[in-house]
Structure 1
Amino acid sequence: MGELAKPRLYTLVVNEGSGGGRSGRELPKVARGLRDRLPTAEVQVITSCSWTDAEKLIRTAALSARPGDAVLVMGGDGMAHLGLNACAGTDATLGIIPAGTGNDFARGVGVPKDLPRAVDAICVGATRRVDLSHVSNEAYPSRYVGAVLSTGYDARVNRATNDISLRFGSLSYGWIALRELIHFSPLQYRIRIDGVLRIQEAMIVAVCNTGMFGGGMQISPQADPADGMLDVTIVDPVSRSTLLRLLPQMYSGNFARHPAVQQFRAREVEIAGDGLFCMGDGEELGDVPVTVTAAPGALKVFVDAAHSAAATVKQ
């Protein structure tokens, strides 16, 4: 068969254990729905329970994609993170079928949160171009983050949440947040925002693309993943009791009104400090110093029709 005559290829890579095994249970229905709704395309399904294998499979599919091909990932924030890193800058369109507990990047860019609607969005074919955050440090000289890169109290809570064996979705994050707060003190930062140096203590320094993490917490309520800019949220030193009161307000975004919360927009942010490490899209990304740069329009992703239409109007 000639190259031009080949059907569009949709490669679905699935983490069957994601969401407490939900991905594995829902996979037959999802695969059937894709094949029924995309009769002229070839749908290839690959399962993996290994982070390393999934990363290789997704990357291979993205690098071999032709215009019109798609790489689909089914799982949680970790699979979305692998998917966006593989597809950024390629001809592959990323499709996310959210079956995890957080799904923060998916929600932030306009992917429907339930499986049938996410599959429908892929089959309808509505897409949008979104930005990513390009991350560079000693551990990862070149990595993309779709949602939030965190370095302070939020990063410590994220890492501790990843280490627990029994998960309860966003409730796990909330419980760990309370536990970590008992011993937490402000951290010393050296931050350069578009070349302007700030030396200060802070509780949280987060660099955002979509502004959502921790299963729906809005660390940067105004973040727009298609404006070509990064959004930076800094929480100045406050008492533990004040931070405790602010945490529930992150779900609505109202915490940003507090006088201790500063927000900036930038194209590049450099973060350094003693004993600081990075978490991005829920994954550990090594220690600071780290440089985060806006990567406008780096990714093409399937979204619901409303978000696709809104992006078209905005452009």
Structure 2
Amino acid sequence: MQILFIVNKAAGNGKGKKVWSQLRKQLTIDYEVAFTKYEGHGRELAKQWARQRQDQKLLIVVGGDGTIHEVFSGVVHNKFLVLGVVRAGSGNDFARSFPTFYNAQQIEDYVLNASTAYTKIDAGSIQLSNRWDELFVNNAGIGFDAYVTKSINTSRLKFYLNKIGLGKLSYAFAVIRGLFSFECFNVTIRSDHQEWQFQRAWFVAMCNQPYFGGGMKISPAAKADDGRVDITIVHDISRLKLLLIFATVFFEKHTKFKEITFLQGQHFDIIVNDHQVDCHMDGNYSGSVHQGSTIHCTVQQNAWNIMTKSS
């Protein structure tokens, strides 16, 4: 079996480098390793390696949700490839829903004893005119969550919190700061013959699994193997009440509020009715959606083979 590690040393503000350094000292099996050097490089490396011999391969990502997004997007619907993850990011939302490797011994045990053990999971997909045709592993979103993501990416706060092991709190801090500057928007959502209108929307989250933002269980019913995408819309709510609701998301208590709507289906059209709003994919800021634009959101079933641990 061919084994490739794709490592993002910069993940978690250097956590990726530390995790890989520990792993390579303990590994005794044969493997290849490639290091990401710039945004999008993980996808290129994965695609290139997957094109080699058509036999069983194990590709292990050492990084955070952004690196996982890149690598997985490069090898979608590859039946010869099993994907694994060693978490080394800040939020690590992927690891909250899917099995991951914690150490070299687990990896070697898997290769020697359970190298064919995997499960198939879906991919979320969004497309905006001719600009985007992108897959997501965890979630995508427009509005406040993407606005916060953009803020995090341009702030030094995440760097300093990661230095003291509190990187996941960077999202919470950015949320509080963004509450006072974000401008709400109106949005229309359509699916088959149904239509919903939402006024003063804060965000529309499209989810393939429950978690985002470093452990917030925003879409508790979302499953990555059910052939459906879950949409969570927060709308018509004051800034103060939204702040209070955010504290409940970790415990799934937010589902009781009338200002939060949950939709579930195989495909949705999301139309931004007024000013442009920010967008993110798996926690990576990916630009803005302009007024009048339609986002087509759907699901690709059985997109990836994810490793499962033997009992």
- For Structure 1 versus Structure 2, the TM-score category normalised by the shorter chain is 0.7 to 0.9
2:284 is aligned with 1:283: yes
Gaps of 5+ in 2: 162-166
Contact (CA 8 Å) 1:18, 1:99: kept in 2 or not?
Answer: yes
Matched, 1:27 2:27: no
> Aligned to 1:199, which of 197, 200, 219?
197
- Three-state SS of the structure 1 residue aligned to 2:157 is coil
1:28 deviates by 3.4
Identity %: 25
Residue 144, structure 1, aligned to residue 135, structure 2: yes
What TM-score do you get using the length of structure 2 for normalisation?
A: 0.86
Q: TM-score of the superposition, structure 1-length normalised?
A: 0.85
Relative to structure 2, which stretch is displaced further, 137-146 or 244-253? 137-146
Determine if the alignment matches structure 1 residue 134 to structure 2 residue 125.
yes
The Cα shift of 1:140 comes to 4.7
1:147: how far off?
0.7
Amino acid at match of 1:103: N
Query: Which SS does the other structure have where 2:46 is aligned?
Result: helix
Aligned-residue RMSD, C-alpha: 2.1
Q: Deviation of residue 10 (structure 1)?
A: 0.8
Contact 1:109 1:210 in 2 (8 A): no
Q: 228-237 vs 163-172, which deviates more?
A: 163-172
Matched residue, 1:87 = 75
SS in 2 for 1:135: strand
Deviation at 1:105, TM superposition (A): 2.1
1:98 aligns with 2:87: yes
Q: Deviations over 1:157-197 (max 9, x none)?
A: 12211221231222111111011101234311122134522
In the TM superposition, residue 286 of structure 1 has moved relative to its aligned partner by 3.4
The C-alpha deviation readout for 1:63-120, integer Å capped at 9, x for no partner, is 33533112221111111001210121112211111111111123222335x4458646
Deviations 1:203-234 (A, max 9, x none): 22111101211111111011111111111111
In structure 2, C-alpha distance between the alignment counterparts of 1:76 and 1:256, rounded to whole Å = 28
Within 2, Cα distance between the matches of 1:188 and 1:121? 51
Query: Which structure 2 residues correspond to residues 164-183 of structure 1 after superposition, within 5 A?
Result: 164-167=155-158, 168=161, 169-183=167-181
Moved more, 243-252 or 182-191: 182-191
Question: 1:244 deviation in Å?
Answer: 0.6
Higher helix share: 1
**Kindly tell me: are residues 304 and 140 of structure 1, through their superposed partners in 2, closer, same or farther at Cα, counting changes over 3 Å?**
farther
Deviations 1:120-178 (A, max 9, x none): 67544332111110121246542210111111212211221122123122211111101
1-structure distance, mates of 2:203, 2:176? 15
Contact 1:140 1:285 in 2 (8 A): no
